[in-house]
Structure 1
């Protein structure tokens, strides 16, 4: 790899300067040779301190470094892949299991407590926080199951009026449910109450009668035949 023409010089400090030279190689377009030289006080000889290649205008560079925690994207977690949950994840908060009360509670009373805990969707060490719910609401509203898309604008009705709409429980159920129509594009996915599609349950096929052509051979009418006068 050869050194090209001199491109300029920059004074870095007292008796320290950096000279730039072009790189004559098709694989390093836009890169420059950087040669830093210095001269000690009362010295007559210049010393080469550093020689390297530095990118210039139009140089091909690697993408910026992204930490691993920020590289993960929705859909990246596949079979056998584990994604640890951060200890301070703002989307989660402490849940209620009732285990700390099991020893002191009456068996019958504890059975009722467990039934209520299960009905409320608790019984877990961590549950979705209000912040996590709000994030999900914003993401779902902007997604394909939200209200602002071409599918909804051309739909005959909204999901909240559809028989295939299964509303979510809890706070999120005010705005969302799950589609249970196997022919709908959002089957098995979360949809907003004001989302819509062409597979709405109110779309009923009209049973119109079909007019049949006249028979080629008339087998219905009777002909009067006189045998004897």
Structure 2
């Protein structure tokens, strides 16, 4: 079979004159297969090996600009009659090709997975580690959790690499300190009453939002994240105690108030009235 990208030559090799001269045979084979309207001019040949040669014709098939029809011919040793091996429709150097095929496991993204989709089991996952295999740094970080997982709980737990990937993804994501809501917030999540710290070593950086009015309700947020639903947002400052100033007394001005002395009687000890003198 010829290569994916054809490089035809015009001059026939000395030992393959029989195959190189079978242009009409090669064209007839393609015409019988796809029709004469899809076969263009002869563009040369490609030597595949001893006694194997491929004739190349321009393709006029709609939608296949830059493609070629390739007819591979062969002959037995000392034979003078060519034999048709196969017919192919192959792209040339100027052909527009689709991107290379990527395996499903490599092209699938987390955003492609729906609520009811089921992912295949991954036996060798660097993000996971068996509980009974944890040692060194893993064992120190798992602590009492490791004793529970061995034979009693999950078969695998997060490895140090898995925790590192998760922490990096969360911190650099929409619920980290660089999110627009965090930059606009007046206070960080670490001072919010609705912030629930995570368990284990991740509690030093992350927690879960428990505020139904927050856009991050039920999601993992960093300590330095923030939003407009902070528990202390809009807190009114207590008014300061009012200390009225001392009254101003003008001691340089005297106001004379005339009082009319009314006539009054004052009883004596014996009960008789005493009239003031001169009345």
Whether TM exceeds 0.5 here: the answer is yes
- Distance in 1 (CA, whole Å) between partners of 2:42 and 2:200 is 71
Q: Is the 8 A contact 1:77 1:83 kept in 2?
A: no
Aligned partner of 1:110 in structure 2 is none
Aligned partner of 1:89 in structure 2 is 125
User: What per-residue deviation string (whole Å, max 9, x for no partner) do you get for residues 6-49 of structure 1?
Assistant: 23322222332222222212133333211122333332222222
Aligned partner of 1:7 in structure 2 is 43
Post-superposition shift, 1:177? 0.7
CA RMSD of aligned residues (A): 3.0
Relative to the length of structure 2, the TM-score reads 0.57
- Distance in 1 (CA, whole Å) between partners of 2:43 and 2:195 is 69
Post-superposition shift, 1:163? 1.9
Q: In structure 2, do the counterparts of structure 1 residues 84 and 124 end up closer, same or farther at CA, with 3 Å as the change threshold?
A: farther
Q: How do 1:70-109 and structure 2 match up within 5 A? A: 70-75=106-111, 76-79=113-116, 81-95=117-131
- Distance in 2 (CA, whole Å) between partners of 1:94 and 1:12 is 53
Q: Which sits farther off after the overlay, 172-181 or 13-22?
A: 13-22
Q: Could you say what secondary structure the match of 2:95 adopts?
A: coil
Could you list the runs of 5+ residues in structure 2 that have no partner in the other structure?
A: 1-33, 133-142, 238-279
Q: Could you say what secondary structure the match of 2:72 adopts?
A: strand
Equivalenced residue count is 186
Q: How do 1:148-163 and structure 2 match up within 5 A? A: 148-163=178-193
Aligned partner of 2:275 in structure 1 is none
Q: Does 1:177 align with 2:207?
A: yes
Q: How do 1:32-43 and structure 2 match up within 5 A? A: 32-43=68-79
Could you list the runs of 5+ residues in structure 1 that have no partner in the other structure?
A: 97-115, 208-229
The list of structure 1 runs, each at least 4 consecutive aligned residues, that deviate by more than 4 angstroms after superposition, is 120-123
Q: Does 1:51 align with 2:87?
A: yes
Q: Is the 8 A contact 2:64 2:95 kept in 1?
A: no
Q: Does 1:61 align with 2:90?
A: no
Post-superposition shift, 1:192? 1.2
Aligned partner of 2:30 in structure 1 is none
Q: Does 1:132 align with 2:171?
A: no
Aligned partner of 1:19 in structure 2 is 55
Relative to the length of structure 1, the TM-score reads 0.68
Post-superposition shift, 1:88? 3.1
- Distance in 2 (CA, whole Å) between partners of 1:8 and 1:161 is 77
Q: Could you say what secondary structure the match of 1:22 adopts?
A: strand
Aligned partner of 2:254 in structure 1 is none
Q: Is the 8 A contact 1:95 1:124 kept in 2?
A: no
User: What per-residue deviation string (whole Å, max 9, x for no partner) do you get for residues 140-163 of structure 1?
Assistant: 122211222333222212211222
Q: Does 1:190 align with 2:190?
A: no
